Structure 1
């Protein structure tokens, strides 16, 4: 089985494959290019047992995203629309396709790969690890209505003219997070979203933006206000945005808030009436594609200096599929991180503080940030280190636990 790039002639077979796998309808417009900002790959049915020409045995799309990571930015391959034809399931096609996807991410110089699994175990076999869980909270709006006004703040409607300011605030306020997508074109349209989306900017008296609130007003059963994001510079800013949300209490009793991991909004919520939203908890899985690139995309704490030996082992894909496995001399100095293949710098080996050895699942968990080697061991992942190397890595990779608000 060979994994190849899909062409405009494959667009209809691929849409047919994914519609059958995920449901929904689509209009057959004939051959057309795949959307910009992504690479589509697949496996032909012809040549497989029971295969026919013009049918895809499997296919997937790789998004070319960038995400915030440890104060820096890393390239990410977001995997979407991965499907296997019912006639070819159970014969190794899925593993072959996913291995090819990982290899293509490496060819595209991506540091990590991200996906949203319906069945985590099948992706885990190829080195992906759960790093985050989506969070939604139902909040009684009457609790927010009682919040006092915040002096020196007022609200500005978001229009096509003010939308670039919202984008700028988003990137600024999520730059210190781990895992948040930068929401750049062409994968993210830069114009006003449709579907009833609305937003307000929070501004001070000098015209500086301090945050925003975005939502969709929906009908039907359940909370009628879906709050996408509440981002503010300070706790006072978040209180001002929550108070604005409370103004809906005359027409809506509750709102569903989408939250980041350990979201600062939780500290500003008044009252004790909030409760988790019902339904499945969305999972986010990531995989290290290039260990050195992932580490060097981050920023080191200014006070951290030293070198350790880092060994990453990956037996989930054939050797050479990607650049996750290897041995590096990992150095932090002056706020920068360098990861040098050990066999190219033998002299520096004498200066190492110690050695850390990770399997690919531990590396995928830890290098995204916000977790310790002790956390990895609690999950029964391979994370063994000398005490000095463990302290070094824990400090290097500290930060908020990963959050991902976008899905695909």
Structure 2
């Protein structure tokens, strides 16, 4: 089996493969910020995946993350280790390119969990009857213009930096101007060119689908919810992608009927020392501690073995050595790093042994990690 880099010449063949394997017809991209891998058997394309170069907020700091998507294997090649070989190659590629984490949305989690990815956060939508959306205070909004892209992105990042797991939507993988392509983009202006909030939405299958509803305060968010209601026209329902959990509270504290659709995304620590060094650790302030780890990871041997996690002077680092008193399986690293699961749950799942109290204290309880982007 040959694993190689995806090129533009592969686009048509890989697109056809994804239509057959996944029922997806989205184009295959090879551009700055987006790359891929192809598996060949007997000179024929047998599988492929795409890697997007993202940065993800953790503890208020951004950590380089490879977003894996479009994993497809030719049905005739299944059972021959194609998916596993692609994922192993992707892990090596991610580490070489400095992407210390990897996240993905998995329709079938088992192949990814066998390689160390594990559930670590949610991707959530709310569906609400439009006549039950609160009218909210009227805001002095205006349609977005081309020159608003940077201010909208800054408004989004101010929110996203406070919600663990969110992407920073930075270049080159994401163009800040993409938000302007939605059917409805309303801006709530602030002072000196600042944006207090914005709404990005579109109509699809008789539903108003809100991609982003971002507000710096409760009044702005409620006003934008009222804008959703007024923009709907003859539509009866709104589907709101949850960017900010505070919006959910504002919307649902009125005892209205709503449907929540939640899917889990998976996180993988690709390079533990690099991921720990890049992450923000607010709870490390005033804490001095050492945790001796034994990392069990057969697919990322570069960080496996005995490691020492050192908390000192408000900073956290991972170095070689230690007694291995706390044993962590590869699948435990993502849920622990993201704060999705504590030591007790990981121990009950057979993914951790030893005293994890310091590990739990470090990640604290900042809320459920979230993504508001699908890839």
TM over 0.5: yes
CA contact 1:300–1:333 (8 Å) conserved in 2:
no
CA contact 1:304–1:332 (8 Å) conserved in 2:
no
Q: Which residue of 2 aligns with 1:95?
A: 84
Q: Which residue of 1 aligns with 2:148?
A: 162
CA contact 1:314–1:325 (8 Å) conserved in 2:
yes
SS at 1:162 equivalent: helix
Shift of 1:120: 0.7
SS at 1:35 equivalent: coil
CA contact 2:285–2:315 (8 Å) conserved in 1:
no
Residues 272 and 308 from structure 1, CA distance in 2 versus in 1: closer, same or farther, beyond 3 angstroms? same
Q: Which residue of 2 aligns with 1:5?
A: 5
Shift of 1:232: 1.9
CA contact 1:137–1:277 (8 Å) conserved in 2:
yes
Q: Which residue of 1 aligns with 2:368?
A: 401
Residues 236 and 37 from structure 1, CA distance in 2 versus in 1: closer, same or farther, beyond 3 angstroms? same
Q: Which residue of 2 aligns with 1:229?
A: 212
Shift of 1:26: 8.0
Match 2:223 to one of 240, 245, 248: 240
d(CA) in 2 for partners of 1:142, 1:16: 42
d(CA) in 1 for partners of 2:151, 2:291: 43
Shift of 1:298: 1.6
Q: Which residue of 1 aligns with 2:270?
A: 289
Aligned residues: 372
d(CA) in 2 for partners of 1:86, 1:131: 29
Match 2:354 to one of 385, 389, 407: 385
Residues 213 and 207 from structure 1, CA distance in 2 versus in 1: closer, same or farther, beyond 3 angstroms? same
Shift of 1:119: 0.4
TM-score (norm 1): 0.82
Deviation per CA, 1:15-42: give whole Å up to 9, x if none.
3322322235589xxxx98222123212
Residues 312 and 230 from structure 1, CA distance in 2 versus in 1: closer, same or farther, beyond 3 angstroms? farther
Q: Which residue of 2 aligns with 1:346?
A: none
d(CA) in 2 for partners of 1:322, 1:183: 30
Deviation per CA, 1:238-281: give whole Å up to 9, x if none.
222223223246633321111148x1112212522232156xx4
Residues 205 and 57 from structure 1, CA distance in 2 versus in 1: closer, same or farther, beyond 3 angstroms? closer
Shift of 1:333: 3.3
1:1-400 map, 5 Å: 1-24=1-24, 34-46=30-42, 53=43, 55-149=44-138, 154-193=140-179, 196-204=182-190, 208-220=194-206, 224-248=207-231, 251-260=234-243, 263-269=245-251, 270-277=253-260, 281-301=262-282, 303-317=285-299, 321-342=300-321, 355-378=325-348, 380-386=349-355, 390-398=356-364, 399-400=366-367
Instruction: Find the structure with the greater CA-based Rg.
Output: 1
Residues 238 and 24 from structure 1, CA distance in 2 versus in 1: closer, same or farther, beyond 3 angstroms? closer
TM-score (norm 2): 0.88
d(CA) in 1 for partners of 2:12, 2:63: 32
Shift of 1:89: 0.8
SS at 2:13 equivalent: helix
Shift of 1:195: 6.3
d(CA) in 2 for partners of 1:35, 1:111: 21
Shift of 1:11: 3.5
Return 5+ residue gaps in structure 1 as ranges. 47-52, 344-348
Deviation per CA, 1:346-366: give whole Å up to 9, x if none.
xxx8xxxx9533211111111
d(CA) in 2 for partners of 1:282, 1:266: 16
